[in-house]
């Protein structure tokens, strides 16, 4: 325990003889301390020679470490607004055995001697006329029909009435093109229903035994 009553976790005990110290090391498993369940670690202390060698190793390790080297660097900070004059020889004063440098402030420049830049008079540049270019109109792919994502009906012969009856429960038809016996192409107002229509109408069997195929345009 230290003077503040805090436990350091270790301590030194001096026995009257080496035999008593050896006996304490052998019987460490039977020694118990109140409120301490861990097994005690008892060993011989270092000799003065071993302790001195360990301290020397620690000093050498610190001396070669990068952190220790950083503390040895000395920097001289100089004000950028002051001129540095070489040290002037002087006699020792008040126990000072070496001259010390003097710093003189930089003399202020008079307005006439201040640096200045002469600019040539600005010449106005001629005005260049700007002609507006006609706007370029690009036709969106969605305006083309049929295009990618539209419905393609094949495998059966479809009339307009038959096609509309198949799609009446899915909302309004935006565009349609019937190819006769080759099928038809359809675009719904709500294009988000195209995938649902493919899932529900693809593979529909007609009364004549033909099977209708419904896919999305690639």
Please write the tens of the pLDDT for every residue from 49-58: 888 888 888 8
Helix (H) or strand (E) holding 103, with range, is: strand 103-105
Instruction: Determine phi and psi for 185, rounding to 5 degrees.
Output: -120, 140
What pLDDT, on the 0 to 100 scale, is given for residue 109?
Answer: 58
CATH number, domain 145-216, options 3.90.550.10, 3.30.70.330, 1.10.10.10, 3.30.465.10: 3.30.70.330
pLDDT of 26-46, one tens digit each?
777 677 777 777 777 777 777
At residue 82, the pLDDT reads 47
- The predicted structure's pLDDT at residue 212: 92
pTM (predicted TM-score):
0.36
pLDDT at residue number 50: 80
Distance CA 194, CA 217 (A): 10
Q: What pLDDT is stored for residue 90 in this prediction? A: 47
Rounded alpha-carbon distances, angstroms, from residue 8 to 3, 12, 15, 115? 11, 11, 21, 70
* Residue ranges of the chain with per-residue pLDDT less than 50: 82-83, 85, 90-93, 98-100, 102-103
């Amino acid at each position: 325990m230290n003077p503040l009553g805090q436990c350091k976790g270790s301590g030194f005990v001096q026995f009257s003889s080496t035999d008593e110290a050896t006996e304490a090391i052998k019987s460490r498993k039977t020694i118990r301390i109140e409120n301490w369940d861990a097994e005690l670690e008892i060993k011989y202390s270092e000799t003065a020679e071993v302790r001195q060698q360990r301290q020397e190793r620690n000093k050498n390790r610190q001396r070669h470490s990068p952190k220790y080297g950083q503390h040895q660097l000395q920097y001289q900070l100089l004000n950028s607004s002051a001129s540095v004059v070489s040290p002037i020889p002087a006699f020792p004063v008040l126990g000072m055995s070496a001259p010390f440098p003097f710093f003189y402030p930089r003399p202020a420049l008079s307005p006439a001697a201040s640096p200045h830049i002469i600019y040539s008079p600005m010449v106005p540049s001629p005005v260049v006329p700007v002609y507006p270019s006609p706007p370029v109109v690009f036709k969106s792919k969605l305006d083309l029909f049929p295009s990618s994502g539209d419905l393609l009906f094949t495998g059966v012969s479809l009339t307009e009435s038959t096609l509309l009856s198949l799609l009446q429960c899915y909302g309004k038809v935006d565009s349609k093109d019937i190819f006769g016996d080759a099928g038809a192409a359809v675009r719904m107002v709500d294009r988000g229903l195209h995938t649902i229509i493919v899932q529900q109408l693809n593979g529909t069997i007609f009364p004549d035994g033909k099977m209708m195929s419904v896919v999305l345009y690639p």
